[in-house]
Every structure is written in structure tokens, then in C-alpha cells.
Structure 1
């Protein structure tokens, strides 16, 4: 199937995912267009990470219903490797550990053609000094440092779609501003970005946002509208019945 620029880069249709007999995602629909930073906002336990893992193709998060369409192709049954080759990348909430190698060696795993200057620039974009290239990826690095290094790695991959699971985890507010600029730079350079977050201030900086609750999309629209609804209805949670989240409210 040929992809046109007017078609979504990513289209998730009627997705249902079960884990250990529990339905985590329930008929969920989202889309990401080319050149967008899209947020998926929700409280802990809403199903956000399950959505990220299912889009990436983790076998234990294979959908029991629905489809994942990427660049016009049904990739629902594709492996993680095939999805990665197609241009989908996931930055985990808890970065993978590559103990013992240097940060420079870790970043060089992103692409084979990277020079030192490109590695330095990527570190600069996540507010880390060039001296980090020679540091070891070990327990001496904080969680926030690991997160920034992984984000630099994702940037260097130049993916078509970057899925970022809680990219603000362990990152201070000042650095977060710079990291959001990194995501916008990725878009300018040809990527689209899907941000999974529980923080309304992160989702508010996206082009569009989805609010999910108990595996449903309950609101889709402008980032500011979703932020307002989240702050007024979800903090603290005003939903006492699962039946209240069955409908999708749109405010675009």
C-alpha cells in the first residue's frame, strides 16, 4: 500500500490488549500524523505503557483485537525487529542497561556512520557535557542521566516514529524545557513523536493530546483542552464508575 502525506503515519484502531486475564486497553483509537508531537496523558495504571509496548510489538502485549497501521501497512503481526526496521523506536520508561561500555559506544549503536561531533551534539541537546562520552554506562550514572543518554540515542536514530514512555522521568524541570525542544527538533528533521506521560505540563507542549482512563480514550483534542480537562476532572480522579469512560469526547 502506498502512503500519502495526508494519511496518518500511525493509526491504532479499536485496540484491545489483555494481560493475565485483565483487559488493559479497550477499543482504543489514536493516530499520529507526519510532523506531529502527540501526547498520551493519563494517570498511573491508565494503560499508557501498555499502548506503547503494543505499538512497538512486544509479544506479551499483542492485541486480542484491533489493528496497528504504520505508513499505510498493517503491522499488527510484525515483530519488534520488523517494526524497528520500518522506523518505529521506543524509549523505555526505565532505560535499558548496557553495563560496562562507554556512553560514546552506547550512542554509536544508534547508527554506524556517526562521528564524534554528532555524538557531542546529541549530548548537548539533552544538556550533557562532552565528557560523558568517555564515562561508563554503569551504576555511577543517575536515572536522569540514563534517561537523557537514551533520548540522545533515539535522536541519533532518526526514526520515523519515536515513542517516548515517560521521557520526563528523573529529569528536572529546567532540563525538561530543553528536552521538549529536542522533540520539536526531531520533528523538524523528519520524525514524528508520541509522548506517553502522566504530567499535564508535558502533554500541554504537544501539538495534540489524548487523555486515556482505564484503557479508553476519553478525550482527544488540543493539548491545552486536554490539560484543562485533566486538571479539573482527573486530579483528583472524579470517575467512580467504569461506565463513565465509554464515550470519546472531542474538543479540537
Structure 2
């Protein structure tokens, strides 16, 4: 069953075409990935699905659980269960860690705070009384944001470069969150330059110059990171970031 259906999606922003005639099915309960060179339109696609300002004037259709969402606001899409996690963690200075984690959760239970912190590898006894402020490192902020996503239990989670700016230990905990959410029925779409992140997915799309040029199971799509890009009509030869 398709949770998200994208049909003939095109986007022109400030006179520049960013996405062109994209069609894709995002299967419910699976982890998908979008890979491709810098400037291919990967983050743009995630922001368009979320309906951010500047990414709403589109051609084509975006359907979520069968409902056309083209004209829905970010808040309305969030209420349907769509969540976008950016490369940089959100900053809510002074908000307590429990309040931050439970802000988007349907169940406001403190026991959920402890559970979410453990999933991301943080000791509840150390972080329950802390605030989301400058005393937290970038890696801690990233994990606490992921804890809030875990508590939220979204239907569709869009993750833009989940490994950006985090250490090896943190990325393993991020992978744990992805697996836990998938087990509970969340559909995940990963935007990534990383072969390691791609390996957390079941299926992937290769984007180049705003178009999908290939798609397939994760193990085959790993060829991209070995320099085996799909044939396409791109006039240049974009550099591949093989993290």
C-alpha cells in the first residue's frame, strides 16, 4: 500500500527549475532513501513534501494516504502525521528536555521521555532535568530531537542528511531510532549522501538534476557509491560524494 504518492511533480523557484516531472510511490511501513549528487534536488523534494514556504507553488500532485495535500499548510500536513527533520537540529532555547520531547507527542507521559532518551542512547537521569540550550553539544541536540520524533510516532518521517554533524556513536543511535519507528509502522524517507545511511533503507531513488533517473532495492542502489551512476541526459558529470 502506498502511503505517499507523487505524480508528475515539478517545481520552479525564483525562475529556476528545481524538480521536473517526478513520480514516486512511497510504500507504507518501508524505509526509502533519496540519493544523488549535490544540487540534485533531494532536500528540495523533502521540503516540497512537507509544504514549506517557497516550496508550495508546484505542478502535479502529492497524495498522502489517498488525500490530495497540495494546498495543505505545514501544520495541516503535520497533523496528518508528516514530520521533517532538518540537517541542523531545531533550537528552542530554554525549553526543558522533557517538554521538548513531548511537544509533538500524542501521549504526554513522562515515562515516554525516559523511553525516548534511552532509545537515542542518553541517560534519562542525566538529561531529564536539563534544558535545550547552549550547554548541549550538537550531537546531544540531534539525539534529543530524534527522541522527540520517537515520542511523536509520525506516520511519515522525512530525514534530511541524518548523519550530518554527528559522531559515529550518535549515528548508530539514529539508526536505532529508524529501526524502532519502522517496527512500529512509521514510513521513513531518508535524504542522504551516505552509503552507510542508504544501507538502512529497503528501497531508494536516484535523483539527478531534479529528475528520478533510477530506483530499486537498496543493495543495487549502493552501486552509485561505487561510481556506477545510472545513465542520464545530464549535460555535465556531477561529482559524487562517496562518504
Normalised by the length of structure 1, the TM-score is: 0.87
Unaligned runs of 5+ residues in structure 1 are: 1-5, 246-252
Q: Quick one: distance in 2 between partners of 1:122 and 1:185?
A: 11
1:63 Cα offset (Å)? 4.0
8 Å CA contact 1:54–1:63 kept in 2: the answer is no
Q: 1:174 to 1:167 in 2, by over 3 A?
A: same
1:194 maps to: 189
- Cα distance per residue 1:162-192 (max 9 Å; x no partner): 1111111122223323321221211211211
Cross-structure match for 2:23: 29
The two structures, once aligned, show a CA RMSD in angstroms of: 2.1
Within 5 A, what are the aligned runs for 1:13-92?
A: 13-92=7-86
SS in 2 for 1:66: strand
List gaps (5 residues or longer) in structure 2: 238-243
1:154 to 149, 152, 155: 149
Greater CA drift, 132-141 or 206-215: 132-141
Distance 1:212 1:56 in 2: 18
Contact 2:106 2:152 in 1 (8 A): no
Could you tell me which residue of structure 2 aligns to residue 168 of structure 1? 163
Map of 2:134 onto structure 1: 139
8 Å Cα contact 2:139-2:170 kept in structure 1 = no
The answer to whether the 8 Å contact 2:206/2:215 transfers is yes
**Residues of 2 paired with 1:201 and 1:28: CA distance?**
25
Equivalent in the alignment of 1:120: 114
Contact kept? 1:43, 1:213, Cα under 8 Å: yes
2:172 paired with 1:177: yes
CA distance in 2, matches of 1:138, 1:239: 47
Please state how far the C-alpha of 1:160 moved relative to its aligned partner.
0.8
**Contact persistence 2:143–2:170 (CA under 8 A):** no
Q: Partners of 1:244 and 1:222 in 2: how far apart? A: 26
Find 1:106's aligned residue among 75, 85, 100: 100
> Does the residue aligned with 1:59 lie in a helix, a strand or coil?
coil
Report runs of 4+ in structure 1 exceeding 4 Å deviation: 238-241
2:71 and 2:145 map into 1 onto residues whose CA distance is 27
The alpha-carbon deviation at position 33 of structure 1 amounts to: 0.9
